[in-house]
Amino acid sequence: ASLGSTDASGTITLNAATPPTVASPVPTRAPADVISLFSDVYTNRPVDTWSATWDQADVADVPVGGNVAKKYTKLAFAGVEFISNQINASAMTHLHIDLWTQDPSRFSVKLVDFGANGVFGGNDDSEFEVTLSRTSTPSLSTGAWNSLDIPLSAFTGLTGRGHIAQMIIAGASPTIYLDNVYFYKVPVPTSPPVAAPTPTAPAGNVISL
């Protein structure tokens, strides 16, 4: 190759990734424990937009393995807004996202809470971004759906969860697929799920109450 009149040599590596051909895993959590934004399994809360006017991304609903997923292209960052139907996730413990990415080196998700007044600004907003990669927990891979269960406690700067109004996603891959985007809580058991262990001490050595 040449740069003007200067000869140049080098290497360009192209990494090709095929799109998903199978649907994302079917969620099995109880609907009572879920606040869903996008899923074929649960009743979804209204979302104002999956690509805000101020972001850099295109989004479309596409069929994948008999299911519908959100396909983002030309993704630098995308704003998902549910300002008119803000989410009270105070009782929730996790954010779940099924992600297909062509580049697992980086994917980030930011949650924005508008505070008690429910309005952007006003000195009571809070936000925090979590970044995932091949080596994070949960980790990312390519060639398969990544079922991401992110503890809300990981969003350490998100001081409020009662008026979550935005989710902002970004990553190394300009094309990603999303499915089953929801908040959920891990229920606290009200009784032991299994019987107590069977005692093994010889009966002759025992005084039992």
Q: Which residue did the predictor score with more confidence, 204 or 8?
A: 204
pTM (predicted TM-score): 0.84
Largest CA distance in the chain: 98
120 with 48: CB under 8 angstroms?
no
Considering the chain, what percentage of its residues have pLDDT values greater than 70? 100
Considering the chain, what percentage of its residues have pLDDT values greater than 90? 86
- The per-residue pLDDT for range 78-123, each reduced to its tens digit, is 999 999 999 999 999 999 999 999 999 999 999 999 999 999 988 8
Mean of the per-residue pLDDT values for the chain?
95
40-54, 124-138, 185-199: which range is least confident on average?
A: 185-199
Q: What is the mean pLDDT of residues 119-138?
A: 94
